[in-house]
Chains A and B, each alone.
Chain A
Amino acid sequence: MTVLTDIPEKWLPVVLPIKKKKKAGFGGGKSKKKRTEEERRVKANDREHNEKFQYANNCIVTSKYNILTFLPVNLFEQFQEVANTYFLFLLILQLIPQISSLSWFTTIVPLALVLSITAVKDATDDYFRHKSDNQVNNRQSQVLIRGSLQNEKWMNVKVGDIIKLENNQFVAADLLLLSSTEPHGLCYIETAELDGETNMKVRQSVSVTAELGDPNNLASFDGEVVCEPPNNKLDRFCGTLYWREKKYPLTNQNMLLRGCVLRNTEACYGLVIFAGPDTKLMQNSGRTKFKRTSIDRLMNTLVLWIFGFLVCMGVILAVGNAVWEREVGSLFQSYLPWDPPVDNFMFSAFLSFWSYIIILNTVVPISLYVSVEVIRLGHSYFINWDRQMFCSRCNTAAESRTTTLNEELGQVEYIFSDKTGTLTQNIMTFNKCSINGQTYGEVTDPLGKQPKRLDFTPFNPLANPDFCFYDEKLLESVKVGDLHTHEFFRLLSLCHTVMSEEKSEGELVYKAQSPDEGALVTAARNFGFVFRSRTPGTITTTEMGRTVTYSLLAILDFNNIRKRMSVIVRNPEGRICLYCKGADTVLLERLHPCNQELMSITSDHLNEYGADGLRTLALAYRELSEDEWEAWSESHRCADKATDCREDRLAAAYDKIEQDMKLLGATAIEDKLQEGVPETIALLSLANIKIWVLTGDKQETAVNIGYSCKMLTDDMTEVFIIGGHTVQSVRQELRSARERMMELSRGKTEGMEAWAEACFMGNGMKDGQEGDCTTGRGSKQLHCSSLPPSASGDMDSISGEFALIISGHSLAHALEADMEAEFVSTACACKAVICCRVTPLQKAQVVELIKKHKKAVTLAIGDGANDVSMIKSAHIGVGISGQEGIQAVLASDYSFAQFRFLQRLLLVHGRWSYLRMCRFLCYFFYKNFAFTMVHFWFGFFCGFSAQDVPDHRSLEYPKLYEPGQLNLLFNKKEFFICITQGIYTSVVLFFVPYAVLSDATQSNGVPLADYQTFAVTTATALVIVVSVQIALDTGFWTVFNHMFVWGSVGSYFTIMFALHSQTLFRIFPNQFRFIGSAQNTLLQPVVWLTIALATAVCVVPVLAFRFLKLDLKPQLSDTVRHTQLVRQKRRKPGGRSIGGAWRGTGSVSEGRLGARGGSRRSGYAFSHQEGFGELITSGKNMRLSSLALANFASKHSSSWIETLRRKKTNHTPPSTSGECSPAPSNVSGTCPALSNSSSVLGGSQETPIEEETDAAVVLSSSSHPAASEPAEPRAPAQVAPADSSTSAAARTDSPGGWARSLETVQEALFGRRGCASASNTQVPPCDATETPPH
């Protein structure tokens, strides 16, 4: 009870629900821990003490083997594969002489080959893992050992060590921040690797340790931390520090997690709490799963079927053998007695079954697996070699890191993409602005000349040389001294929460908590309004070379409801001014009515910017008189001190002053997309691939990016936003979204169909269907169970384009077992899905969900450590390489430098791989059946004695590795076609030679019906038939195809002649007894006649079918895609022109602004967090404000969504809660958001959190609706009177008003408003004069 006593009581309840919810939502399912570590006790600087607990050290191991374990473990793993075990089993069978129908080495050679190839591959993979492990483990960090700092490798860092971190260093383990070089023990971190957010986050040490400062004091620090066991929750930490007989609560706010990067902080010290595998980063990275492609799985299924088929054949032949042995074989005893262990025909049949299993095993050929691997390897090299996937900027070529997934690239249905670093470059640039109705930054050069980048240095020595701007007019305007322009940039230089750091004169470094703000302040800096430094009470700038110090009177901080921030400053001349920047939706409502015309011009500009996917902000200012300021300041103080409903009162106070502002203009910031992202996404969606964005970012940011990369478009029928906090609300939202979808699409189809027929018919139908809907809604239980299947049925028929946006906390509910189906059916009916504020684990869960419910091939693409789990759980993981982090790349299956390469990877390589693989498999199965079934037929002639026909060894020809390039899919149907064709071929191949040769003789009279001749004939016919077949299958005859096809036929003959040669026979007479059969057989014309006949009979039907198919029903896959592209191309210009049209007409754009502008253009909400204003103005202890920050963020981010949703759909009734009254019915209030940002805190009080009473929960809930409600209903209410008064004024003035001068009108208006002042001339002329009554 010693510290943190100044924390208001009402912060506490916030913590509790979070904790509770986590327990319910996450803890239940995911807390599968191998070790049951109840709690963790860590004593600083006391290795001996800590060693007792045997905590994991900081060495991470992602590799699977070491030199000793490699062989046994790898073999064990390999033999888990059915195919390998099967062949091992065959091998064992072959060692039994009574069964062995083939010599054992025919199996062991390929098996050994397969095993060794796989082993080598695994070893290489593991070697690289070792290497990367080593690299990470050997990073240096400074550890405080016995009072002095020593360099240690990361892996030697132990729990309980105190380590020193320097700026821009990676955090080595999960640390408790003890002290930092910054005041108040603050330090800044970037958590991009953890959650993908690149905002700087603030961490602060407990105040007692913050004072420790230098290493000597820290060396004597012997506090003990007791905390929760290792877990994967990035945003929560709960522990207590015991030091000097006192307890201090620890929260996530005190923690530096592994994977973060220290920024803007010279150095800091931290105590290692979790190390290595216990760190939250490692806990969050999902298990490495063995990925296999769907073709693999299909192949395995088919192999199982074939195996079943094999057993069937074996049984048939064994029965045949039994019958034969009894009927015929027993009579044959004198010539061929049974082998000693065989004493009856049953046993003989039993043995012959196994013999046939061996001999027919070629239907399940081991070479299939080898060949498939070889083909994939080849494709992987093609991917690596592709120049079009080489990024010259970062000198990175695409890399396929696995060789097993290539053909699946051709089957992807869902893409899950990270946002930051993947879709965007995470660079904010000040792109355009609109000042006083004049837009700047539009660079349209009709001559196509490369626009010149402005050089600011001659004009402004303080300019940032990295800043790019191309429109000279703006600089001119600044130089000329245009007042509006100056005020515009002054606002930008004053109204922000950026901190500056001036290392040396003129070398300014801005620490912005959001990149947008940084961009704006940098823009102002370059245009001559340089923000130099700030204190809690002042802001110093250099304006056009003149240093000006403003006194900062107040910061009206940003929050998600206000969607704006303001500062009130007093300039050296003593004038008080309020500068406000914010989302246009909120800001434009608060303008002085005389801004009407400027407003409409600016909002046109804003629409333009918005349509270009830029993040926009509107800027406005207001001059305040001393009295006004005094009055407001008093009320503000009042509100600030209030103990109940403080935020609401503050908000109300802010609201009061942010009125009647004058519009200055608007800014447009480009969140730079990676090159070619919209095109790629468009192309991929043409290929019927659904793209989901999963991001840890805020909803607004995500949605904006959705628009800018054309995932979301203005043509979309509707965008649904799910932001509920409880299971019920999420369910309700999902359901209503789906109902709406069905309604809309039904309306559409009906509109088309019924319209032409009869109106009343349509009405009747509609009524009936609505009735259905309501009944469905009526019974919840029934609905729940019956909905998914029926819904999915309905979902298929949904036309129209929908998008779904869901936030992390809603997602947590949506991912619960009973909601899954509902979520999936809703989400999958949408064209675009954006999940924001999701944790790494949730990303993986979403992927798993789709995998489970949709049975579709998924691809996850990301660049950061927060994407690792998603990358691992998707069928295909793609990492963006060339960036800083390499975790994603290491976890990925493919990596390349830019998102746009995805289209080539999927649409070119994926498709080719898939087609080639399919073709190959078809051919392979065909070939094998053709080959093997010959044995089957022969079984009927050789007494089922498991004699093989052709000389199998001569069939090892390289054609197997010839990829077919025709366009055929591989599925079960195709498989059966192949099989049938194979069986047909085998029948032909057996019976044609049989019929011909059984009676034929050579031209010298020697009969041809001997076994060896027959074998050679059949084998040769087989080779020729399958060669002709592959020639037919080959779509593209390249040099290699010729080489392989002719080469394989040639090598067949070569090998055959070699095997039948005298030399080999002389060495191994018993093995190579086919001596001379090749030449004796192949010299016979009748043999060739037979082969020709067999080939013709085999190939002609195939050719005929192919021709018919091609001629009557040309293959679709290509043409469909092509057609789609053409159609899209045709549609695109149309869409553009429509877009242009609505931009042109003011009324439409107004309407749009109300409809969607809020979600798209409220630039200010994107990456800002509130609380920084308070941090700045308070200037003292930062903890309070960061807590406030947490509270606000958690509440408002959600309620804002709620508000927005309500605004848009008008379906859900507005919340009934009144001001400050507890509202248990309001679902959004009872459960604060789960947020993965730094803003959610654990227990911030001394007492254990569990002791909190439930009453506090109710109490705390009251603030949420209160915070969200007032802002919303007021908005329209304010606009309306303002409008009417303006027009009224105009009307009353106008009869005589034409004579009046401009000033009088202005004065009349502003005087009435009480905002006119001496400096009013700056303000654009009021537009009241320009509204003549017609």
Chain B
Amino acid sequence: MGKTKDKSGPLARRPDNSAFKQQRLPAWSPMLTANTVLPFFYLLAVICMLLGVWLLLLVQSTQEIKLDYTDLGNCNECFDLRRNVSNAVQTCSCRVEFSIDKSLKGDVFFYYGLKNFHQNLRRYMDSRDDGQTLGRIKKLKNPSSYCAPFDKDNDGVPIAPCGAIANSMFNDSFTLNYHLSSSRIVPVPLLRTGLTWYTDKNVKFRNPRADNLTLAEVFEGTRPPLYWQKPVYSLDPHDPNNNGFINEDLIVWMREAAFPNFKKLYGILNRADPIFEKGLPKGNYTIDISYNFPVQHFQGRKGVVLTTLTWFGGQNHFLPIAYLVTSSLILLTAVVLTVAWWKFGKDGKNMKE
């Protein structure tokens, strides 16, 4: 109660005379005066303007190529083929051609994109077992009930990785080719690793560990997800270290997009090759697509994106424009405020009683 009991005498129960208890703490009380507010507004407007201009210049320097291949060119056939679920086992590949008018300088990133695919549905997002993908043996054989109905197959065999997310993993694969000349076609080398957050690759996703067992043996007794053609331990035929739960395509897919239209990183241009040392030169390109992922039934589209980056990310026109618009609005407000202050509130006319 703040009463000190040890005191005695007539003032024994007098409250302490501390600044806090008497609510007399020293305080700084700022006032919104014209001297502070108006300069602040102008300053803010200038800062936003400068930022906006700078960002705009940066964004202008980036390049981006988007290609919707859903039913482009001969992918049309594959598109039709995938319409029927019973053809899921059949492979289908197609080729899409495009050309780059201006070379993409610097690092080039290759994305696949999906439209109208709702990775952000609550039940979809819940349908995963992080314990399993963390490599817990127990969970491997006994996935969380959140994964239902993709936790076990009809025979009761556990699915690894379980859940709707893993089950619906994007499984088209791409090969980008550069037409150096009409006769010489060079495959563009893409790095298929380093696509994820460090924490995802090294902490969040781990392969189940068992002594002296190969990955395939560890996963024995589990089934791959229903829609998968390959088991999880052989997702990447080229790089054995990129298999199992730590397969980067899987990790990328498992990082759910916030919006129904999204792009995910597929690969990064390997600039070791002297041809692509400075990025992607201009010219004609083709993409060979192993067309597996059906999009018809959810009215989706799919495509690829090639882009270069700046220090703050990919091509993003919204940010600089938003800054410029904000800046001009602030400036406008500031002017209006100045006028209002000048005409009505100057010299604290209204501050007097």
To the question of whether A and B form a pair in one complex, the answer is: yes
> With an 8 A cutoff between CB atoms, is A1065 at the interface?
yes
Knowing that A1007-B262, A1089-B55, A1126-B353 touch, tell me 13 more A-B residue pairs with CB under 8 angstroms: A337-B149, A355-B122, A385-B22, A386-B21, A387-B22, A945-B118, A947-B122, A1006-B197, A1007-B263, A1007-B264, A1011-B119, A1069-B134, A1076-B197
Interface string of B253-295 (1 = CB under 8 A from A): 0011111111111001000000000000000000000000000
> With an 8 A cutoff between CB atoms, is A145 at the interface?
no
Residues of A with C-beta under 8 A to B249: none
Most B CB contacts (10 A, CB to CB) among A385, A1007, A1035, A1096 go to A1007
| Cα separation A1006 to B265 with both chains bound (whole Å) | 6
> With an 8 A cutoff between CB atoms, is B124 at the interface?
yes
Contact A999–B318 (Cβ < 8 Å): yes
In the complex, identify which listed stretch (A42-50, A392-400, A446-454) lies at the interface while the others stay far away: A392-400
Residues of A with C-beta under 8 A to B315: 999
> With an 8 A cutoff between CB atoms, is B32 at the interface?
yes
Q: Are A1005 and B297 also in contact (CB < 8 A) when A943-B120, A1122-B353 are?
A: no
Residues of A with C-beta under 8 A to B310: 1003
Residues of A with C-beta under 8 A to B134: 1065-1066, 1069
| Cα separation A946 to B127 with both chains bound (whole Å) | 14
Question: Which residues of chain A in 190-248 are interfacial with respect to chain B, using CB atoms and an 8 Å cutoff?
Answer: none
Residue of A nearest to B21 (CB): A385
In the complex, identify which listed stretch (B93-101, B153-161, B172-180, B322-330) lies at the interface while the others stay far away: B322-330
Tell me how far the C-beta of B24 lies from the nearest C-beta in chain A, rounded to whole angstroms: 10
Residues of B with C-beta under 8 A to A1112: 340, 344-345, 350
| Cα separation A195 to B219 with both chains bound (whole Å) | 89
> With an 8 A cutoff between CB atoms, is B303 at the interface?
no
Contacting residue for A390 out of B14, B255, B322, CB 8 A: B14
Contact A335–B168 (Cβ < 8 Å): yes
Contacting residue for B262 out of A339, A395, A1009, CB 8 A: A1009
| Cα separation A1040 to B19 with both chains bound (whole Å) | 12
> With an 8 A cutoff between CB atoms, is B42 at the interface?
no
| Cα separation A721 to B162 with both chains bound (whole Å) | 88
> With an 8 A cutoff between CB atoms, is B213 at the interface?
no
Q: Are A1114 and B121 also in contact (CB < 8 A) when A385-B22, A1000-B316 are?
A: no
Q: Are A945 and B312 also in contact (CB < 8 A) when A395-B12, A1065-B203, A1070-B146 are?
A: no
Interface string of B40-56 (1 = CB under 8 A from A): 11001000100100010
> With an 8 A cutoff between CB atoms, is A336 at the interface?
yes
23 A-B pairs in the complex with CB atoms less than 8 angstroms apart: A329-B121, A331-B299, A335-B298, A386-B21, A387-B15, A392-B10, A397-B3, A943-B118, A943-B121, A997-B258, A998-B262, A1003-B311, A1005-B309, A1006-B265, A1008-B313, A1036-B27, A1041-B27, A1070-B131, A1086-B319, A1104-B336, A1112-B344, A1112-B350, A1113-B350
B contacts, CB < 8 Å to A? 1-3, 10-17, 20-23, 25-32, 34, 37, 40-41, 44, 48, 51, 55, 85, 107, 109, 111, 116, 118-125, 127, 129-131, 134, 136, 144, 146, 149, 164, 167-168, 194-200, 203-204, 255-265, 268, 297-299, 307, 309-316, 318-319, 322-323, 326, 329-330, 333, 336-337, 340-341, 344-345, 350-351, 353
Contact B256–A1011 (Cβ < 8 Å): yes
Residue of A nearest to B164 (CB): A336
Interface string of A322-351 (1 = CB under 8 A from B): 000000110110111101000000000000
Contact A395–B13 (Cβ < 8 Å): yes
Residues of A with C-beta under 8 A to B85: 334
Contact B118–A332 (Cβ < 8 Å): yes
Contacting residue for A1006 out of B16, B125, B195, B298, CB 8 A: B195
Contacting residue for A387 out of B1, B14, B125, B344, CB 8 A: B14
Contact B199–A1062 (Cβ < 8 Å): yes
| Cα separation A1101 to B31 with both chains bound (whole Å) | 17
Contact A1100–B350 (Cβ < 8 Å): no
Most A CB contacts (10 A, CB to CB) among B27, B109, B195 go to B27
> With an 8 A cutoff between CB atoms, is A786 at the interface?
no
| Cα separation A455 to B286 with both chains bound (whole Å) | 120
Contact A1010–B131 (Cβ < 8 Å): no
Contacting residue for A339 out of B13, B123, B195, B322, CB 8 A: B123
Contact B340–A1001 (Cβ < 8 Å): no
Contact A941–B15 (Cβ < 8 Å): no
Question: Which residues of chain A in 291-346 are interfacial with respect to chain B, using CB atoms and an 8 Å cutoff?
Answer: 328-329, 331-332, 334-337, 339
Tell me how far the C-beta of A385 lies from the nearest C-beta in chain B, rounded to whole angstroms: 4
Question: Which residues of chain A in 1080-1121 are interfacial with respect to chain B, using CB atoms and an 8 Å cutoff?
Answer: 1080, 1084-1086, 1089-1090, 1093, 1096-1097, 1100-1101, 1103-1104, 1106-1108, 1110-1114, 1119
> With an 8 A cutoff between CB atoms, is A369 at the interface?
no
Contact B319–A332 (Cβ < 8 Å): no
Residues of B with C-beta under 8 A to A1037: 27-30
Contact A1070–B333 (Cβ < 8 Å): no
| Cα separation A1005 to B196 with both chains bound (whole Å) | 9
> With an 8 A cutoff between CB atoms, is A1039 at the interface?
yes
Closest 9 CB pairs of A and B: A1076-B199, A1111-B345, A385-B21, A1036-B27, A1069-B130, A1014-B258, A942-B120, A947-B122, A1001-B314
| Cα separation A385 to B316 with both chains bound (whole Å) | 58
| Cα separation A101 to B121 with both chains bound (whole Å) | 11
Residues of B with C-beta under 8 A to A392: 10-11, 14
Residues of A with C-beta under 8 A to B316: 996, 999-1000, 1086
> With an 8 A cutoff between CB atoms, is A69 at the interface?
no
| Cα separation A396 to B10 with both chains bound (whole Å) | 9
Residue of B nearest to A994 (CB): B259
Tell me how far the C-beta of A817 lies from the nearest C-beta in chain B, rounded to whole angstroms: 46
> With an 8 A cutoff between CB atoms, is A1038 at the interface?
yes
Tell me how far the C-beta of B20 lies from the nearest C-beta in chain A, rounded to whole angstroms: 8
| Cα separation A1009 to B122 with both chains bound (whole Å) | 17
Residues of A with C-beta under 8 A to B125: 947, 1011
Q: Are A1084 and B198 also in contact (CB < 8 A) when A339-B123, A945-B123 are?
A: no
Contact B261–A998 (Cβ < 8 Å): yes
Residues of B with C-beta under 8 A to A1104: 41, 333, 336-337
Contact A1010–B32 (Cβ < 8 Å): no
Residue of A nearest to B320 (CB): A1089
Residues of A with C-beta under 8 A to B1: 381, 384
| Cα separation A448 to B34 with both chains bound (whole Å) | 50
Contact B297–A331 (Cβ < 8 Å): yes
Residue of A nearest to B226 (CB): A334
Q: Are A397 and B330 also in contact (CB < 8 A) when A942-B120, A1111-B350 are?
A: no
Contacting residue for A1076 out of B23, B25, B200, CB 8 A: B200
Residues of B with C-beta under 8 A to A994: 259
Contact A1038–B25 (Cβ < 8 Å): yes
Most A CB contacts (10 A, CB to CB) among B144, B262, B318 go to B318
Residues of A with C-beta under 8 A to B28: 1036-1037
> With an 8 A cutoff between CB atoms, is A186 at the interface?
no
Residue of A nearest to B316 (CB): A1000
Tell me how far the C-beta of A916 lies from the nearest C-beta in chain B, rounded to whole angstroms: 11
Question: Which residues of chain A in 1259-1286 are interfacial with respect to chain B, using CB atoms and an 8 Å cutoff?
Answer: none
Contacting residue for B196 out of A395, A995, A1006, CB 8 A: A1006
Q: Are A998 and B259 also in contact (CB < 8 A) when A390-B14, A1106-B32 are?
A: yes
Tell me how far the C-beta of A1066 lies from the nearest C-beta in chain B, rounded to whole angstroms: 8
Contact A995–B318 (Cβ < 8 Å): yes
Residue of B nearest to A352 (CB): B122
Residues of A with C-beta under 8 A to B22: 385-388
> With an 8 A cutoff between CB atoms, is A992 at the interface?
yes
Residues of A with C-beta under 8 A to B34: 1107, 1111
Tell me how far the C-beta of B39 lies from the nearest C-beta in chain A, rounded to whole angstroms: 12
> With an 8 A cutoff between CB atoms, is A1053 at the interface?
no
> With an 8 A cutoff between CB atoms, is A1073 at the interface?
yes
Residues of A with C-beta under 8 A to B268: 1005
Most A CB contacts (10 A, CB to CB) among B34, B260, B345 go to B345
Contact B312–A1086 (Cβ < 8 Å): yes
> With an 8 A cutoff between CB atoms, is A1012 at the interface?
yes
Residues of B with C-beta under 8 A to A653: none
Contact B340–A1108 (Cβ < 8 Å): yes
